[in-house]
Structure formats: structure tokens, C-alpha cells
Structure 1
Amino acid sequence: MADRRLAIAAWESLFRAQHEVFEEISSDFVGTDLSQAEYDVLLTVTRAPDMTSRLRDVTANMLISQPSVSRLVDRMVGRGLVTKCSDPDDGRGSLVTATDVGAHAFRAIGAAHGRRIAERMSCLDDDELHQLLVLTEKLRGTTYSAAL
């Protein structure tokens, strides 16, 4: 069993670091065509084959509730950023597909946002970044599967 005080101190430091970095990079979305939540939806959708993802997969990658994701996606449909249709393989589910407009808006913000994240994380070297990735995935109970 880990030292309780050390575990709490590490958790608090991780939480505060995440919060501070998130606040800093959230300014990337001020004055753009996408909110950060819309960007997060498009991040999942545009990375999927044919820029189409199940709504439940979008929800799994978001930090908001399923009803909130559904409402967000419906607003994005209204703005022409994505389309939504029934999932032929799951009658209760939906498929979300990025439109050309949504994909373009995502790419326009994504490049600058990616540079900003890399810049903010540059205080860590590649070995430290890899170690951070391994440790955070271990905390989440997952394994990073994408090629580095």
C-alpha cells in the first residue's frame, strides 16, 4: 500500500497541474468558430474512420454527461458541423459524422492548439513525457495504443 500522505499530495499536484494547464490552453478557443467542447467532439469524430464515430464513443471521451453530449451534438448538427443518424448496427445508438465545415473548423484550430499544447509541455523532455503518459494511463486503467 502506498504512503497515504504521499498519495494525497501526488493527487493534489496532478489535479492542480491539470487544472492550470487546462485553463491556460482553453484560451485557444476564444474568438474562434468552435467552443472547446465542440472541438473535443470533433477530435473524436475526425480521428475515426470516415470521420464517423458512435455517439457513445464521443461521450466516453468527454468529461460531461451523456445527456449534455447529446445536446451539444444536436447543437452542432444545427450549426452544420456534424451530422447525426441512427446506427444501423445498434438501433438505440447514433452515428456522428463531421461535415466538411466541421472538419475544416477543427483543422483550423487544431494545428495552433496542438502547437500550444506542445509548447506548454516542452518543460518536460521526451522521456518525461513518455513516463507521464504511462503513469496517467496506468491511473486510468488503460494503455496508450496509438503509435508515438
Structure 2
Amino acid sequence: MSTKPPPGTVRWLNPDEERAWRAFLRVVVAVQAGTARDLAAVGLSEPDYEVLSTLSERPGHTSTLGEQADKMGWSRSRLSRHATRMEARGLLRRAPDPTDGRGCFLELTPQGLDALEQAAPAHVESVRRHFIDRLAPEDLIAIEQIDRRLGEPRAGDDRPPKRHPSA
């Protein structure tokens, strides 16, 4: 782990770092493109699926907009705009939050739950085909370790520590 360079100094990537960075970008693009294509075949986008699946994990399939945004790592405004589109399609509904005049509850509708239940088997198979089944168990462990390391705050970071599902 390196420290921040003096102002005006650029720490260019060496060839190994450059290859690793480009490999990471290719992996992210390839996996996301594959899973997005497979979800589109069942009528959902990746953001749709993420909203539906995380809401399905909540008691009563309901969450405040703020809690849901935090859980997903999205801004409130991004989630609000996406929820508006999903509400128009009948996948979720909003209800006022009596404790927060500016907030609302997001609730999974029966239609949204049905869409999730229909899409989940195809999505899991897609994740396996494009990611899990291509890696060895030790690769999966390494990815989790990298995620934890990258989620840790560093000196000078202006972001809160990343929450981990296993924490």
C-alpha cells in the first residue's frame, strides 16, 4: 500500500499494474454484459433486479428509500428516479414515510415479487455461467479479500467504510 504522492507528482502505472488494471476492467465489462443480456431476456435490467432482490430480503418486502439506497450503495436521487420507472411498470409502490416528510417507503408489489421469482433462476444461472463456474474456490476467496481491502477507508478518504454482507 502506497501513500499519496507529493502534489504535482504522477505515479504512472508500471507494465504489471497496467495489465492488472486493464484485465480488471475487461472482467467487469464481460461479466456485466453477460448478466445484463441474460436479465434483459427475462424483461429486467440489472438495476431492476438489484432493487427487487434487495427489497425481497427486507421484512414485509418494504424499506425506506434511504435505507434501500444505503444497502445498494446508490444515491437517494438515483434510486428515486429508478423507483419512479419501476413504479410505472407496477414492480413496486411508494408510500409516505410518516417519520420523514421528504422520504418514502418502497414496497415490492405482488407483480414485482412475481417478476423476481421468474427472473431469479435465470439470473443465478447467468452468474454461474459468466462468473462463478469459471473460477476456482481460491479465486472466489481472493475476490472477497480484494473487495474487503478496497472497501477499507484510507487516510484522506471522504467516504464511510463499506458495509459487507458478512460483517
TM-score category, normalised to shorter length: 0.7 to 0.9
CA contact (8 A) 1:134 1:143 kept: no
- Choose 30-39 or 123-132, whichever is displaced more: 30-39
- Where structure 2 has 5 or more consecutive residues not aligned to the other structure, the ranges are 3-10, 153-161
TM-score by length of 2: 0.73
Runs of 4 or more above 6 Å deviation: none
Q: Which residue of 1 aligns with 2:164?
A: 144
CA contact (8 A) 1:137 1:143 kept: no
Q: Which residue of 2 aligns with 1:106?
A: 116
CA contact (8 A) 1:82 1:102 kept: yes
Is 1:34 the counterpart of 2:44? The answer is yes
CA contact (8 A) 1:40 1:62 kept: no
- Where structure 1 has 5 or more consecutive residues not aligned to the other structure, the ranges are none
Q: Which amino acid aligns with 2:90?
A: G
Of 146, 160, 164, the residue aligned with 1:135 is: 146
Aligned length: 146
Pick the structure with more helix per residue. 1
Q: Which residue of 1 aligns with 2:96?
A: 86
| Alpha-carbon distance in 2 for matches of 1:36, 1:116 | 12
Q: Deviations over 1:68-122 (max 9, x none)?
A: 4212211222222111112233332221110111011012111111121122221
Of 82, 95, 118, the residue aligned with 1:72 is: 82
The percentage of aligned residue pairs carrying the same residue is 27
Task: Select the structure of larger CA radius of gyration.
Answer: 2
| Alpha-carbon distance in 2 for matches of 1:89, 1:134 | 38
TM-score by length of 1: 0.81
Q: Which amino acid aligns with 1:110?
A: A
